[in-house]
Amino acid sequence: MNSNEHLLDQPIIFIGPGRSGSTIISEFVFAHEDLAWPSNHLEHFPRNVWLNYLRRLFDNDYWRVLGEKSQGKGNRSPLLNFPAPRPAEAYPFWENMTRREINFSRDFLLNVTATPEEKRRIRHAASRIVAYQKRKRFSMKTTGPGRIEYLKSIFPEAIFVNVVREVGPTVASLLNIPFWEDLGKHRLWWTGAYSADDLSFFETIKHDPTAVTAFQVQKIIATTVKEANQTGARMLTVKYEDFAESPNSVIGEILDFCQLSNSKTIQKKLAATKVRQMNQTDTLCNQQRRAISSVLEWSPN
């Protein structure tokens, strides 16, 4: 029996399409003194959960040095950002934890649940992460499909925070990221959610990277809402645009929803971070705007 089961009460799971603002928003919340999370070290050494113990060296009663993902030129990363533990999606860790036939990083995992052994293995690893980091609650982030049913089968009491952004800016941001060229500009990167009608429509747009990207973003948004409704998930949806307008208000709403106390660390981080409202749709030409509109207007019969 896992003696650290109490450390998995009401875990917090951030979800949302890539480039939606989920990283910057979640990192504010992950700075909370009570929260543990899979660290960046698990991306390189996915089998070595004990590496989460390193957080104690950087974040303790005497000093707090947290790594963070760079958010651009407007904000400086901490001096020790490279070696310091920081929250990570850690897909190699999840691929190592899940059963062989599951592709955690690419599959929507609709109507998929964890096996009893899989659930035991993942919960054991998650509780060890909390214990090694000497925290009180588990938290994590994953982007792309929500994977709500699968994650809820492992963590029945999970609280989900769904971070979304207007489709146009999300698409524009993805199109400007080099890795998207190989991933999703010319194909369906995530799998397991497309009907025959979806695939038929995709054939008509597959030569247009803007339409292909919008198609995938919209599918993620739609399936996330549907999964949450079907599973009865406790989910709060926040908009990046609202966060950029009022960071303190949105972070406060998330903390209340997740039943987290006020945090001086989070307030200090909010005061020191410049949040920018970036209207990246300015980079889209009229043809691209029309392509996005046509995707959003389409619906299967």
Q: Got the DSSP string for 62-111? A: S-B--------TTSPPPTTTTTS--B---HHHHHHHS-TT--TTTB--TT
> Does some domain include residue 73?
yes
> Does some domain include residue 220?
no
Which domain, by its residues, includes 241? 5-174+234-276
Contacts 24+ apart (CB under 8 A), 68-74: 68/27, 69/23, 69/27, 71/23, 71/24, 71/273, 72/276, 74/274, 74/276
Average pLDDT over the chain, rounded to an integer? 91
> Does some domain include residue 258?
yes
> Does some domain include residue 214?
no
What is the structure's pLDDT at 83?
75
Cβ partners under 8 Å of residue 242, min gap 6: 249, 250
What is the structure's pLDDT at 72?
45
> What is the spatial distance between Cα 122 and Cα 143, in angstroms, rounded to a whole number?
19
> Does some domain include residue 95?
yes
Structural domain total, the chain? 1
**pLDDT lower than 50: segments of the chain:** 71-75, 77, 301
- What is the tens place of the pLDDT at every residue in 37-73? 999 999 999 999 999 999 999 988 888 887 666 544 4
> Does some domain include residue 152?
yes
> Does some domain include residue 142?
yes
> What is the spatial distance between Cα 123 and Cα 100, in angstroms, rounded to a whole number?
17
Please work out, in degrees rounded to the nearest 5, the angle formed at the alpha carbon of residue 43 by the alpha carbons of 231 and 185. 70
> Does some domain include residue 188?
no
Structure tokens at 181: 């060229």
Structure tokens at 214: 């919008």
Helix locations, the chain, DSSP H: 22-30, 41-44, 55-58, 91-97, 116-133, 148-154, 167-175, 178-183, 196-205, 209-231, 240-245, 247-257, 264-272, 286-297
What is the structure's pLDDT at 64?
81
Residue 86 maps to which CATH number? 3.40.50.300
What is the structure's pLDDT at 74?
45
